[in-house]
Structures are given as structure tokens and as C-alpha cells.
């Protein structure tokens, strides 16, 4: 398999799914009508309701790119099961489930005058659902924050070529906010300055790095500066890890665990004991976690125009350029026969198509069966994802014509899918490395197919930079939403939480507690399960709505059932893995054991919440089915 085949096969599949399935549903089930007035036209106020051209709206809908989902999930899945199951789920998932979910959500809102569906949902599903959903969503945010901070802190502490670029992103973000919104400087000039400086800072990370005569890696000026910072903090404990924070990861997905060497053996490093499997927490890891909290604190508490918006604006340019040029590299590499720095062909997949299906179960070991785990490991890209689209208004209130719903909602989902596919290409050609490292290595190779072999280390640094930017821009927003939510919901009972600083710090302390347990991979799978459960519940609302409108709900019903059952099963498997690999092994330390038990409890809560909501949804569906039959009977009697 090579990169060009993936591009061609995926493009064809998506073309067929969009034109022959999605359009058919749009035409026959939803029956979108260009002549029907949309809420944007009916209630146009120039602020909230605003008819917007579908091309612009599509851009909004995918403006901030997706978060870590299409990258981290794909990397983890490709490592566990191989690239073939990952690509099949990505392409089939988006074709039959992903687009339907996003498109339907928009159309349902459009058909309800762009208003909150509260009244409808209240009718469709029992009132208690709302309370359950609130608790569920708060856990979901906590899981995202925990997983993302864990991943990023590991990368920043392990890669001296990455942090400088991220530090400069923060500086440029603050500067851009001041220059654009306060000094009202020229947009083109400001964009050129902040984007070029941020990109250059990311690319400069490995500048001057070389190997000396003894084979020792010598950092360049930027890398050496970061190494010095790490050393200062690590010297606080005499260079030793903090024993109380040691943890384990039976799935070896923690970025602090080194990739296997040529013999397939993971070496012992400063952060990993190969013999015991213990992952060590150095003070420098805590320092970079703290750095991430400070970054996120700015994004969560400063006015949006001061930090969050400019950082996202710069981040979008960085991501767009990195991903766009990597896509060019993916097409060029097989055509030009480009070779990487080791002389291997760049366009050829190094990862096996299928590593294992994982159905065999071993006592006391983590179990990763393809079903259901693949479908929660890869969430975004196939279905769902934090698009973090930004604009002044919500999509459903902006649609100029009903017929724009499919290209905007469905089209954006297909676009996110291409990001996931590109991530898959990048990790599959890299062959070795773990987590974000494999993605970055793949991006480095793809960029070297465009700019030449000498660019590979700089391309890899840019790959890391783009990855961190994608994840971090979302992380800061997660904290912002968490603090607003805490203030809104707990503020009355606990007045101190009304203070924005207190609410943010409280959210961060909770997150830190999750990160320090070190089992981020479980957090990730829990996040995947929670995310997919949210998708299933949303599809459930769509299904009941379609039923209430006397339309055929099949295109939403079957995905609902698949996602619902799969997610419940995956949550159960994750809880089981936590139980047998960590919770029942006190010798691993108090922290991992406590963390595992906390996650098991969260799993159980998620399952109970999902069952209650499912039951309410089933009853609502039945009500509308019987209502329809009763109405038909009454009509026949007349």
C-alpha cells in the first residue's frame, strides 16, 4: 500500500457515499427545500440570525480544524490493530454514520426555527435526561482536559525541539490580540508577523542539532535552552523521578514510554523502567504540565479577543500549512519515489495492514478486541469531533437555504475525515514511534518529499508543533467552558465558585488529579467512549424527532443502535481492563490504583446514565410509533 492509493480510494468512497447516499437521504427523508424560509431569513437580526453563503458557512464549520481526535485516535488504533481496520472504520464510519449525525443535528435545528430544542427534547425524552446529560457532559470535559494535558506534558518534557514554538505561539497570540484589536494595525501585516514568527520558532527547534564523534546527540541553541530548563527542575530531586507519582500503562501508549528499538525491545530511559514497566514522573514533566495550565488559564480567563481568538487564528494558519503541505507530500512521494533520511521510500506504508484482531483474552492483561474498542478509539474523523468552529453565530441560524445543510454539515464531517486519513497516512509511513511522535515523524517525511531530505528534522518539529497547537487550542477552550459551567450550575450553592479564577483553578486541580494517575490511555478510551456515547444520544434524539415527524428514521436508527451498543460494550471493556491490570494490583502504587478505581466508577456512571437515557428514548420512540398507529386507525375508522 502506498499513500497515493489511500488518497484515491478514500476520495472515491467518499464521493460515492456523499452523492449516492447522503444526497438521497437529504432528498427523500429530510426533504430539504430551497424555497422554505430558513430561520436565518425569518429572524435575521445581523447578529445571531444571518443568512450566509454556504461556502463561507462551510469554512466556519471547519475553521478551527478538529482537535486531537482525528490524530491521536488514529495513531492509537493503527498501533493496536494495524492500518487496515482503521481506514475501513474511517471511511465506512463517515459514509454511513458521521455525516448523518452532524447533518441531521443542523437540519433538526433549522426545522425548529433555529431555537433551542429544549421544548422538543422535553417532549421527546423525559425531563430527567437533561440532568443526567449535564453530569455526563461535565465528566466528558474533564476527561478531554485530562487526556490532552497528559499527552502534551509528555511531549513537551521529552522533546527539546517543541516547547519554544509553543511558548512563541502564546507570545504571538497575546501580541496579535493587542495589534489587531487595540492598536488596529493592518491585518495582513499582523498576520504575516505572527504566523511567520510562530512557524519559524517551531521549525527552528532542531536547528544546530547534531551527533558528535562519540555518537552523542548535541542539541542546537534552541534545544539546549529547553534542556537547561528541564535540568534545572529535575535537579530539584537530584535528577530522580518523584516516586509517589510513578505509574504504569499496560497498553504502552503513554508518550513517556519509548518506542521499541530495532530488536523490538523497549529500552529503559529516564522516564521508563523496561523491567518493571514503571513510568516515572520527573519534575520537568510537572513543570510542562504547569506551563500548559498557565497557557490554558490565559485562554480560559482573558477576554476572548485577548488570547483565545488570536491563538486559534495563528493556530489555524500553522495547521492549515502543515496539513496542506503534508497532503501535497502524500501525493508527490509515490510519484517521485522520494526517499527519507534512512533511504527508505517515503510513500510506502511501514505499518502492517492488520497486526491483530485482539479477540483473544488473557487473564490479568488488558483486552483490546477490535469490536468494540476500535470504534471508540477512533471517534473523531469517523463520527464526532470537536470542530471548535467559530464565528459569531451557530450554523443552524445561518443557513441561507435548507439545501445548504448537507454540503455544510455533512461536507464538514467529510473534511474532518480527510484530516484523519492524512494522520493515518503519516503514522503508517513512519512505522516506528508512539503517539504524537509517530504523527510528527510522518509529517516530517511527507514534508521532506516536498522540500528535500534535509528538511525532515525541521518537518518533524513542525509536525509536533502542529499537533500540540491542535490539541492545546481546544484544551484552553475546554477549561473556559468548564469554569463557565461550574459558575452557572454550582455558583448558587457554592458562591466562591462564582469567582472565575476559583472556578478555573478548581477545574485545573481536578484535571491535574487525573493526569497524575498517569493512565491517560484509559482517559483517552473513556473520552472516546463518552464522545461516542454523546454521538449515539444525539442520533437518538434525531431518530425520535424523525419518528415524531412521521418520516423514515432508518438512516439514523441503525447508526444509533450500533453506536449505542458499541459504546456501552467499550465502556465495560475499559472498566474491566482497569480492574484486572491496575485496580487489583496494590503493588503498582496508591496513585494508579486510586485513579483506576475512579475511572471504573466513572465507567459505571456512564453506563447507568446511558441506560436511563436509552430507556427514555425507547419509550419516546414507542409513544410516537403508537401515536402514528392510533392516528392511522382513527383515519381508517373515519
The single residue among 84, 328, 481, 565 that binds another protein, judged by CB under 8 A, is 481
Q: Which residue, 47 or 637, has its beta carbon nearer to another protein?
A: 47
User: Binding another protein by CB under 8 A: which of 384, 417, 504, 525?
Assistant: 384
The residue among 411 and 457 lying less far from another protein, judged by its C-beta, is: 411
> Residues 509-548 vs another protein: string with x where CB under 8 A?
-------------------------xx-xxx-xx------
Cβ partners under 8 Å of residue 107, min gap 6: 30, 32, 402, 405, 409
Cell numbers 562519540 correspond to what residue? 214
Mark the segment that binds another protein (CB under 8 A) among 213-221, 259-267, 314-322, 332-340: 314-322
Q: Which stretch binds another protein (CB under 8 A): 328-336, 442-450, 483-491, 508-516?
A: 483-491
Selected range binding another protein among 248-256, 393-401, 506-514, 594-602, rule: CB under 8 A: 393-401
Of 61 and 280, the one with the shorter C-beta distance to another protein is 61
Sign (positive/negative) of CA torsion 415, 421, 425, 427? positive
Binding of another protein by 310 (CB under 8 A): yes
CB of 46 to another protein, least distance (A): 3
Q: String of b and e for 352-385 (b: at least 16 CB within 10 Å)?
A: eeeeeebeeeeeeebbbbbebbbbbbbbbbbbbb
- 319 touches another protein by CB under 8 A: no
Closer residue to another protein, CB minimum distance, 246 or 543: 543
- The reply on whether position 435 binds another protein by CB under 8 A is no
Q: Does 308 contact another protein by CB under 8 A?
A: yes
CA–CA gap between residue 260 and residue 263 (Å, rounded): 7
**By the rule CB under 8 A, 409 interacts with another protein:** yes
- Contact predicate 302/295, CB 8 Å: no
Q: Is 108 in the site for another protein (CB under 8 A)?
A: yes
Is residue 354 classed as helix, strand or coil in its secondary structure?
coil
Is 44 buried (19+), middle (13-18) or exposed (0-12) by CB count in 10 A? middle
Which cell is 102 given? 452532524
Residues in the interface with another protein (CB under 8 A) total 79
| CA distance readout (Å), 636 to 430, 624, 627, 633 | 66, 18, 14, 5
Q: Which residues is 248 bridged to in the sheet?
A: 278
CB of 310 to another protein, least distance (A): 7
Q: How far is Cα 147 from Cα 424, in angstroms, rounded to an integer?
A: 20
Shortest reach from residue 99's CB to another protein, in Å: 10
CA distance 129 to 137: 12
Shortest Å distance, C-beta 196 to another protein: 14
Which part of the chain contacts another protein (CB under 8 A), choosing from 261-269, 445-453, 474-482, 571-579? Answer: 474-482
Pick between residue 76 and residue 121 the one whose CB is nearest to another protein: 121
What strand order describes the sheet that includes 272-273? Answer: 247-248, 278-279, 272-273
Q: Which of residues 39-68 bind another protein (CB under 8 A)?
A: 44-47, 50-53, 56, 59-61, 63-64
Closest to 600 measured CA to CA, from 575, 582, 576, 580: 575
Q: Residue 116 interacts with another protein (CB under 8 A)?
A: yes
Q: φ, ψ for residue 399 (rounded to 5)?
A: -60, 125
- Residue 60 or 89: the one with the smaller Cβ distance to another protein is 60
Site membership for another protein, residue 401 (CB under 8 A)? no
CA distance linking residue 128 with residue 404, whole number of Å: 34
| Greatest alpha-carbon span in the chain | 96
Which H helix or E strand runs over 210?
strand 210-211
Q: Is 305 in the site for another protein (CB under 8 A)?
A: yes
Cβ atoms of 625 and 547 closer than 8 Å: yes
- Asked if 103 interacts with another protein (CB under 8 A), we say yes
Using CB under 8 A as the binding rule, the residues of this chain from 178 to 237 that contact another protein are: 180-182, 184, 186-188, 191
Residue 303 makes contact with another protein by CB under 8 A:
yes
Q: How far apart are CA 460 and CA 205, in angstroms?
A: 10
CB of 598 to another protein, least distance (A): 23
User: Which listed residue (68, 72, 106, 578) binds another protein by CB under 8 A?
Assistant: 106
Amino acid at each position: 500500500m502506498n499513500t497515493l492509493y489511500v488518497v484515491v480510494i478514500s476520495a472515491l468512497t467518499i464521493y460515492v457515499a456523499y452523492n449516492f447516499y447522503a444526497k438521497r437521504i437529504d432528498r427523500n427523508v429530510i426533504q430539504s427545500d430551497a424555497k422554505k424560509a430558513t430561520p436565518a431569513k425569518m429572524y435575521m437580526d445581523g447578529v445571531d440570525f444571518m443568512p450566509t453563503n454556504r461556502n463561507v458557512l462551510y469554512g466556519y464549520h471547519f475553521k478551527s480544524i478538529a482537535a486531537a481526535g482525528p490524530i491521536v485516535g488514529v495513531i492509537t488504533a493503527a498501533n493496536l490493530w494495524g492500518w487496515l481496520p482503521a481506514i475501513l472504520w474511517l471511511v465506512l464510519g463517515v459514509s454511513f454514520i458521521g455525516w448523518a449525525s452532524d447533518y441531521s443535528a443542523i437540519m433538526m435545528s433549522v426545522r425548529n426555527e433555529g431555537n433551542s430544542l429544549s421544548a422538543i427534547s422535553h417532549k421527546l425524552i423525559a425531563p430527567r435526561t437533561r440532568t443526567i446529560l449535564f453530569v455526563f457532559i461535565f465528566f466528558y470535559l474533564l476527561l478531554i482536559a485530562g487526556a490532552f494535558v497528559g499527552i502534551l506534558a509528555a511531549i513537551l518534557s521529552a522533546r527539546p525541539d517543541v516547547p519554544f514554538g509553543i511558548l512563541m505561539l502564546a507570545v504571538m497570540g497575546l501580541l496579535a490580540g493587542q495589534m489587531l484589536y487595540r492598536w488596529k494595525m493592518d491585518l495582513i501585516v499582523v498576520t504575516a508577523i505572527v504566523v511567520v514568527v510562530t512557524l519559524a520558532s517551531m521549525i527552528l527547534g532542531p536547528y544546530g542539532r547534531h551527533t558528535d564523534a562519540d555518537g552523542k546527540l548535541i542539541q542546537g541553541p534552541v534545544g539546549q535552552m529547553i534542556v537547561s530548563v528541564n535540568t534545572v527542575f529535575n535537579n530539584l530531586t537530584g535528577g530522580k523521578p518523584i516516586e509517589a507519582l510513578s505509574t504504569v500503562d499496560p497498553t504502552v501508549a503513554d508518550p513517556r514510554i519509548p518506542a521499541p528499538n530495532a530488536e523490538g525491545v523497549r529500552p529503559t530511559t529516564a522516564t521508563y523502567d523496561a523491567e518493571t514497566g514503571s513510568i516515572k514522573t520527573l519534575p520537568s514533566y510537572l513543570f510542562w504540565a504547569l506551563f500548559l495550565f498557565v497557557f490554558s488559564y490565559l485562554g480560559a480567563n482573558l477576554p476572548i479577543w485577548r488570547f483565545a481568538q488570536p491563538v486559534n487564528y495563528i493556530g489555524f494558519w500553522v495547521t492549515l500549512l502543515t496539513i496542506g503541505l503534508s497532503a501535497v507530500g502524500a501525493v508527490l512521494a509515490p510519484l517521485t519515489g522520494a526517499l527519507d533520511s534512512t533511504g527508505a521510500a517515503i510513500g510506502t506504508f511501514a505499518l502492517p495492514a492488520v497486526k491483530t484482531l485482539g479477540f483473544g483474552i488473557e487473564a490479568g492483561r488488558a483486552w483490546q478486541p477490535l469490536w468494540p474498542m476500535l470504534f471508540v478509539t477512533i471517534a473523531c474523523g469517523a463520527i464526532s469531533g470537536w470542530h471548535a468552529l467559530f464565528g459569531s453565530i451557530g450554523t443552524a441560524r445561518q443557513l441561507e437555504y435548507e439545501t445548504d445543510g448537507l454540503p455544510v454539515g455533512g461536507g464538514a464531517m467529510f473534511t474532518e475525515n480527510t484530516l484523519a486519513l492524512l494522520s493515518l497516512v503519516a503514522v503508517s509511513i513512519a512505522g516506528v514511534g508512539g503517539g504524537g511522535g509517530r504523527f510528527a515523524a510522518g509529517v516530517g517525511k511527507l514534508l521532506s518529499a516536498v522540500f528535500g531530505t534535509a528538511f525532515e528534522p525541521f518537518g518533524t518539529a513542525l509536525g509536533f508543533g502542529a499537533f500540540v497547537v491542535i490539541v492545546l487550542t481546544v484544551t484552553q477552550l475546554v477549561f473556559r467552558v468548564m469554569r463557565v459551567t461550574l459558575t452557572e450550575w454550582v455558583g448558587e450553592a457554592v458562591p466562591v465558585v462564582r469567582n472565575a479564577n476559583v472556578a478555573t483553578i478548581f477545574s485545573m486541580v481536578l484535571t491535574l488529579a487525573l493526569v497524575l494517575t498517569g493512565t491517560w490511555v484509559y482517559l483517552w478510551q473513556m473520552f472516546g467512549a463518552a464522545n461516542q456515547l454523546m454521538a449515539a444520544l444525539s442520533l437518538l434524539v434525531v431518530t425520535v424527532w424523525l419518528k415524531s415527524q412521521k418520516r423514515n428514521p432508518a438512516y439514523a436508527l441503525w447508526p444509533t443502535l450500533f453506536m449505542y451498543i458499541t459504546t456501552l460494550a467499550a465502556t465495560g471493556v475499559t472498566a474491566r481492563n482497569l480492574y484486572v491490570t491496575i485496580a487489583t494490583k496494590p503493588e503498582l502504587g496508591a496513585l494508579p490504583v486510586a485513579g483506576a478505581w475512579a475511572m471504573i466508577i466513572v465507567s459505571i456512571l456512564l453506563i447507568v446514565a446511558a441506560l436511563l437515557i436509552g430507556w427514555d428514548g425507547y419509550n419516546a420512540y414507542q409513544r410516537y410509533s403508537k401515536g402514528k398507529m392510533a392516528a392511522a386507525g382513527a383515519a381508517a375508522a373515519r
